[in-house]
Structure 1
Amino acid sequence: MESILYTVTVYTENQVGLLNQISIIFGRRRLNIESLSVSASAIEGIHKFIITTNSDRDTIQKVVQQIEKRIDVLRAFFYTEDEIFYQEVALYKVATEKLLDDSGIEELIRRHNARILEVNRTYTVIEKSGHTEETQQLFEELSKFGVMQFVRSGRVAITKSTVEHVSLFLEAQECRRLSTKE
């Protein structure tokens, strides 16, 4: 089967040790986590894990099913790149002196839609958001100036769907809860 990059979203309560439990599921299937980000979601009290991994469809379906068996997991979904909007953020630290010596640096920053966060006598910090290929391209072009530090965040993503799937799930759970009370 063909291996492609999938984005897995996991909605959870904020519980200690859950990240470890989820990462073990990927490890058991011999899947490398390419990127990972965790944050609060649009729903109060619910956190969202965004994990990318290369896999085939059958394996990723099994991984998501195993993740959903965890007690603190509300729901988990997987998406291909055409089903989501996504971005990453990258930071680059470059020696200020080297940047000042090259007049093309302004054009380079403009061309990549990057921005300067900090300039001091020692270093300049540049920020770029975009897809992995875009942030990597800027890294490669800045490398001629001697990149002192480079970091890229995990993917952040939202679905192209008009409704957040977990919202529908939570609404259904609430309706069930209310109907059993009557």
Structure 2
Amino acid sequence: MSITKHTISVLVNNQPGVLQRVSGLFGRRGFNIESITIAESEESGLSRMVIVTSGDDKTLEQVQKQLYKIIDVIKVIDLSSNPMVARELALIKISSEPSVRHEIIGIVETFRAGVVDIGPSSLIVQVVGDSDKIDAMTELLRPYGIREISRTGVTAMIRGSVK
């Protein structure tokens, strides 16, 4: 069995402790959560978790079955088995003396990102896109001196038809 990356959407009741129960289930099954986002959904009282993890298909199937045993879990969808849109946001603080800012801004513009703060010796850049785009931009900015990175984690949904 091959290990693949999975993006899972979990619709849950918006209740205290749900995040802990869901993340605990992944830990007990030996799955590492690479990314997790959670916020209110389109339905009042429900939240949507988007979880990115890696594993073989058989283990993922077992995790999905176990998730349904958690009383506050309403629906589980393996988004990665469908065409999907996935995005992440990152803020990157870069050391930036005025003499090299034009080089950094050139990289930022190439990735259709933006400078959201300029300080005396640093810039904060905001980039939105898939994880590979953010990783690529980070690598190009690394030689300038990355001071800090904050990433939201992936959020995703199935393209096209309503599910």
TM-score bracket, shorter-length normalisation: over 0.9
Q: Which deviates more, 122-131 or 81-90?
A: 81-90
**Kept after mapping to 1: 8 A contact 2:82/2:158:** no
Determine the structure 1 residue equivalent to 2:109.
Answer: 110
Determine the structure 2 residue equivalent to 1:95.
Answer: 95
DSSP-derived class of the 2:92 partner: strand
Q: Where does structure 1 lack aligned partners over 5 or more consecutive residues?
A: 165-182
Structure 1's 58 and 161: CA in aligned 2 closer, same or farther, altered over 3 A?
farther
Determine the structure 2 residue equivalent to 1:140.
Answer: 139
Structure 1's 19 and 81: CA in aligned 2 closer, same or farther, altered over 3 A?
same
**Kept after mapping to 2: 8 A contact 1:85/1:157:** yes
Cα displacement (A) at 1:81: 6.3
Runs of 4+ residues deviating >4 angstroms = none
Written as runs of structure 1 = structure 2, the 5 A alignment for 1:1-182 is 1-80=1-80, 82-97=82-97, 100-102=98-100, 103-164=102-163
DSSP-derived class of the 1:39 partner: strand
Q: Give CA deviations for 1:122-141 in whole Å, capped at 9, x if unaligned.
A: 42110111111111111111
Distance in 2, matches of 1:114 and 1:81, equals 29
What code does the residue aligned with 2:52 have? T
Q: Where does structure 2 lack aligned partners over 5 or more consecutive residues?
A: none
CA RMSD of aligned residues (A): 1.4
**Kept after mapping to 2: 8 A contact 1:5/1:81:** no
Q: Structure 2-normalised TM-score?
A: 0.92
* Larger Rg, first or second structure (1 or 2): 1
Q: Looking at secondary structure, tell me which structure has more helix per residue.
A: 1
Instruction: Tell me how many residue pairs correspond in the alignment.
Output: 162
**Kept after mapping to 1: 8 A contact 2:86/2:154:** yes
Cα displacement (A) at 1:24: 1.6
What code does the residue aligned with 1:34 have? E
Cα displacement (A) at 1:114: 0.9
